[in-house]
Amino acid sequence: MKKLFAEFFGTFWLVFGGCGSAVFAAGVPDIGIGLLGVALAFGLTVLTMAYAVGHISGGHFNPAVTFGLLAGGRFQAKDVISYVAAQCLGAIAAAGCLYIILNGAGAFTTEGPGAFATNFYDMPGYHNRSYSMGAAFLAEFLLTAFFLIIIMGATDKWANGKFAGIAIGLGLTLIHLISIPITNTSVNPARSLSQALFVGGIAMSQLWLFWVAPILGGITGGLIYKFLLQGAADEPLAE
């Protein structure tokens, strides 16, 4: 249960801090943190919780990471469902808190692409650019795959584990810098689910992509590291 609580609170913090920064602070006149600030906020949530509770649960905070670590041989199949459930519940609880706070100012809206920090694709009107479903799928797939490679490499027994949280947090920051303009960045099905539940409509109808692409990407990244990269430290360096 401690592992599940760690996943619940870690995912809660990721959604509350990351999506909260997008909802409350990204576009504030004069002091808005913008794309860079939101990207950094998501990275900081993972970095801080990796050190706070990562030693308890492994610090997944993301169903795609759980499936990726399973594929990479770092996680047991019997715990997948309970981990994913804890992550989704934590994300939904955080989104509920964001909704209550935002509604306190009468500012909650479901209008427009990315409302309430939802993910989206093929919706004209977002910065005069709309990415297709295929482009969104590829971006989410590739970025999640590389996220898993970063996670597995940073936590490898041959790596310096003390700095794993920094590498993973900065990796997620970079991912958001790349893909916020494309899909508003998911790479995390729980994070996508929690926001879409409150917005409904198109956000819910497009939610499938933000489950399928990140999970397939996570599995691919886990397999790539396991079969192509893992164990390389045992081999002598070429002279």
Q: What pLDDT digit, counting tens, does each position of 79-115 carry?
A: 999 999 999 999 999 999 999 999 998 888 888 889 9
Look up the domain containing 69 and give its range. 1-229
In this structure, what CATH number is given to the domain that contains residue 212? 1.20.1080.10
Distance of alpha carbon 123 from alpha carbon 24, whole angstroms = 22
Q: Give the DSSP letter string of the chain.
A: -HHHHHHHHHHHHHIIIIIHIIIIITT-TTT--HHHHHHHHHHHHHHHHHHHHHHHH----SHHHHHHHHHTTSS-GGGHHHHHHHHHHHHHHHHHHHHHHHHTTT-----STTGGG----S-TTSTT----HHHHHHHHHHHHHHHHHHHHHHTSTTS-GGGHHHHHHHHHHHHHHHHHHHHS--S-HHHHHHHHHHH-THHHHTTTHHHHHHHHHHHHHHHHIIIIITTGGGSPPP-
pLDDT recorded at residue 237:
47
Residue 219 lies in a domain: yes
Residues of the chain with pLDDT under 70: 126-128, 232-239
Distance of alpha carbon 235 from alpha carbon 72, whole angstroms = 20
Please name the amino acid found at residue 116.
F
pLDDT recorded at residue 62:
98
Residue 238 lies in a domain: no
Residue 237 lies in a domain: no
Structural domains counted in the chain: 1
**Length of the chain counted residue by residue:** 239
Residue 235 lies in a domain: no
pLDDT recorded at residue 54:
95
Residue 236 lies in a domain: no
pLDDT recorded at residue 234:
56
Taking the CA atoms of 160, 161, 163 and 167 in sequence, report the sign of the dihedral they define.
Answer: positive
Residue 36 lies in a domain: yes
Residue 129 lies in a domain: yes
Residue 55 lies in a domain: yes
